[in-house]
Amino acid sequence: MALIRVTKEFRFEMAHALWNYDGPCRNVHGHSYILYVTYAGEPVNDPENSRNGMVIDFGDMKKIVREHVVDRFDHALMISCFAPAESVEIYRKHFGNVIVSPYQPTCENIVADIAVVLSGNTPSGVRLHSIKLYETATAFAEWHASDNQ
């Protein structure tokens, strides 16, 4: 049997601010993120199985990624835990969904966070192969399992 990779695209809107950054991204601003999640595995080879011919059902992928990533980040404001407590309180007062992350909320760190979360929620028989997160139309960060063994 052949190893096959399957990818699904997801989209969410999220704002962030980069604490202690020396450019305009230190201010609260938003992005329309595009996320590509790729799983790898061998297609099921069992005519009696309802998932016959599939590596992973795209519906199952959608459920996993929505539950663990999209629902968490969509329409949220993400700020770093390194920001002063008074700033965090102001954000919480004015924005409904504030995520205080244990890291600087760069595209690179967000994609690494997503990789950890999805790796821990990958169904048996498949493996998380890669994640690509577009922050803008021309800028993205990637995570590959082969680089993180």
pTM: 0.94
Separation of alpha carbons 53 and 107, rounded Å: 34
**Into how many domains does the chain fold?**
1
Separation of alpha carbons 28 and 19, rounded Å: 10
* Structure-token match 């999209």, residue found: 70
DSSP secondary structure, 23-79, as one string: SGGGS-EEEEEEEEEEEEEPPP--TTSTTTT-SS-HHHHHHHHIIIIIHHHTTEEEE
Classify residue 56 as exposed, middle or buried by CB count within 10 Å of its CB (0-12, 13-18, 19+): buried
Q: What is the pLDDT of residue 108?
A: 98
Q: What is the pLDDT of residue 97?
A: 95
Cβ atoms of residues 141 and 133 within 8 Å: yes
Q: What is the pLDDT of residue 149?
A: 82
Separation of alpha carbons 4 and 126, rounded Å: 10
* Structure-token match 């002063």, residue found: 84
Q: What is the pLDDT of residue 1?
A: 67
Separation of alpha carbons 130 and 146, rounded Å: 9
**Containing structural domain, residue 116:** 4-147
Report mean pLDDT in 10-residue bins for the chain, 149 residues: 94 97 96 98 96 96 98 98 94 94 98 97 96 98 95
CATH number, domain with residue 49: 3.30.479.10
Cβ atoms of residues 55 and 40 within 8 Å: yes
